[in-house]
Amino acid sequence: MPFNQRTTLAQFLIEERRRYPGVSGDFNMLILDIAVACKAISAAVAMGQLANLHGHHGDDQASINIQGETQQKLDVLSNELFISNTNWGGHLFAMASEENDKPIAIPKDYPQGKYLLVFDPLDGSSNIDINVSVGSIFSILRLPEGHNGELSEDIFLQPGIKQVAAGYALYGPATTLMLTLGNGVNGFTLHPTIGEFILSHPNISIPEDTHEFAINGSNRRFWQAPVERYVAECLAGKTGPRGKDFNTRWIASMVAEANRILTRGGVFLYPQDNKDPSKPGKLRLMYEANPIAMLIEQAGGRCSTGTMPMLDVEPTSLHQRVPLIFGSKNEVERLERYHHETGK
Ligand code: AHM
Ligand code: MG
């Protein structure tokens, strides 16, 4: 299709906004700023080894983030790009990132706005050095009514159902942006020479059934009964209780798994297990599970902790971890049923 018949991200946002007369448009500018951050990160990731950005941050003395994980050089750069491309526009009151222990203030030189931006600047970054897809995840919340103007962690602690928008950019063979403004999910592909995100996947809908599931099988000895049962039944294939063969997938890059599921269905599990009782799952609620949950549910899929809908979880801290199950509706509902049946 010729370029002049394509819808750019800016055009898409403006046309969406026209449906709600009287809105300020601040929000559109924020999404466009996030898109610029993602393009900058995409460019850095695409340089690969040539940019000398592979490996750990801090030379020989690798630095460790709040999660206790080693920061890659590209984690640090991506975090800086996310912050510097979104903090100046006057849309945000504050931000929070996977890479920062505390909330991030807007510099005094810039006006403050009414939104909060929560993000994981480079998800799946253990995959950078091996040239496997990584991505950036973001969630937008409103500053709570009647806040006292103080920057504290508390203002971010809102359940996922309150998200105004969410999305991710995936830096794969093509760079794509999946976006929900609370009215379905639309996918955009970065045109590499024009430098615009172009609407390529309108109104995404996840098939209700699937024969693909993704879980890190190396944790099997720690799984709890409902997950053990679900996986065993899938692996039993055609002659087992499910009566069909399943494929397994594990990319170790959640954005890439989410993208597969938004595109052709499937189910992803990073459940609570018995490995470390202090950690209820590996992935983080505020900037991994919640934005993915909003996208998946807006596309007709389902996202759950196993025992409750993800979007209803009341957060207690910015970096809290949560069991995460998402994907094709009938599979996630089955997993929820198994959890309820075993009282887990
Ligand atoms: P990260 O935010 O530090 O990159 O960690 C999150 C990633 C997810 O993208 C992925 O699903 C998971 O960690 C992989 O975990 P594992 O190393 O257990 O396979
Ligand atoms: Mg992450």
Q: Which residue has the tokens 């909060």?
A: 116
- For ligand 1, atom 18, the nearest C-alpha belongs to 216
Residue range 72-121, pLDDT digits in tens = 789 999 999 999 999 999 999 999 999 999 999 999 999 999 999 999 99
Say yes or no: 19 and 146 in one domain. Answer: yes
Select from 127, 283, 320, 326 the residue to mutate for testing ligand 1; criterion: most ligand atoms less than 8 Å from CB.
283
Domain containing residue 38: CATH number: 3.30.540.10
The rounded Å distance from CA 15 to ligand 1 centre is: 36
Asked whether 274 lines ligand 1 (CB < 6 A), one says: no
pTM for this predicted structure: 0.94
Residue 69 CA: nearest ligand 1 atom is: 3
- Tokens at residue 134, please? 């990584």
| Domain edge (last residue) among 164, 181, 201 | 201
- For residues 172-183, give the mean pLDDT: 97
Q: Do residue 19 and residue 160 come from a single domain?
A: yes
167 and 245, same domain (yes or no): no
Q: Is residue 67 part of a domain?
A: yes
Same domain, 312 and 169: no
Relative to the alpha carbon of 119, which ligand is closest?
2
Instruction: Please state the atom number of ligand 1 nearest to the C-alpha of residue 256.
Output: 9
Judge if the beta carbon of residue 253 lies within 6 A of ligand 1: yes
Q: Which residue lies with its CA nearest to atom 11 of ligand 1?
A: 254
- Work out the percent of the chain whose per-residue pLDDT is above 70: 94
* Domain presence at residue 11: yes
Count of CB atoms situated within 10 Å of the CB of 311: 18
Across the chain, mean pLDDT equals 93
Whether residue 313 contacts residue 304, with contact meaning beta carbons closer than 8 Å, is answered with no
Model confidence at 60, pLDDT cuts 50, 70, 90, reads very low
Nearest ligand for residue 137 CA: 2
Is the minimum distance from the CB of 216 to ligand 1 under 6 angstroms? yes
> Which atom of ligand 1 has the smallest separation from the CA of 270?
11
Radius of gyration of the CA atoms of the chain, in A = 20
Write down the pLDDT at residue 105.
97
**Residue of 107, 108, 104, 84 lying closest to 33 (CA atoms):** 84
Do residues 153 and 289 share a domain?
no
Please report whether residue 60 resides in a domain.
yes
Class of residue 288 by CB neighbours under 10 A (exposed 0-12, middle 13-18, buried 19+) = buried
Q: Are residues 117 and 35 in the same domain?
A: yes
Is 206 inside a domain boundary? no
Number of domains within the chain: 2
The answer to whether residues 268 and 238 belong to one domain is: yes
Residues of the domain holding 88? 3-201
User: Which residue among 161, 178, 201 closes a domain?
Assistant: 201
Tell which atom from ligand 1 comes closest to the C-alpha of 268.
11
Identify whether residues 274 and 147 lie together within a single domain: no
Residues 295 and 150 in one domain: no
Q: What integer pLDDT is reported at residue 66 of this predicted model?
A: 66
Chain centroid to Cα 83, Å, comes to 17
Q: What is the pLDDT of residues 310-338, one digit of tens each?
A: 999 999 999 999 999 999 999 999 999 99
Final residue before a domain boundary, out of 201, 220, 235: 201
157 and 244 housed in the same domain = no
Is the beta carbon of 69 within 6 A of some atom in ligand 1? yes
Q: What is the CATH number of the domain that holds 320?
A: 3.40.190.80
Pocket test for ligand 1, best of 64, 282, 288, 326 (most atoms within 8 A of CB): 282
Cβ of 64 below 6 Å from ligand 1:
no
Q: Does residue 323 sit in the same domain as residue 244?
A: yes
The answer, yes or no, to whether residue 61 has pLDDT greater than 60, is no
Q: Is the dihedral of CA 256, 260, 263, 265 positive or negative?
A: negative
Between the alpha carbon of residue 211 and those of residues 84, 140, 202, the distances in Å are: 42, 32, 24
Q: Do 15 and 159 belong to one domain?
A: yes
For residue 2, report the distance from its CA to the centre of ligand 1, in Å.
39
- CA 127 / ligand 1 centre spacing (Å): 9
Mean pLDDT across 128-134: 93
Residue 250 within a domain = yes
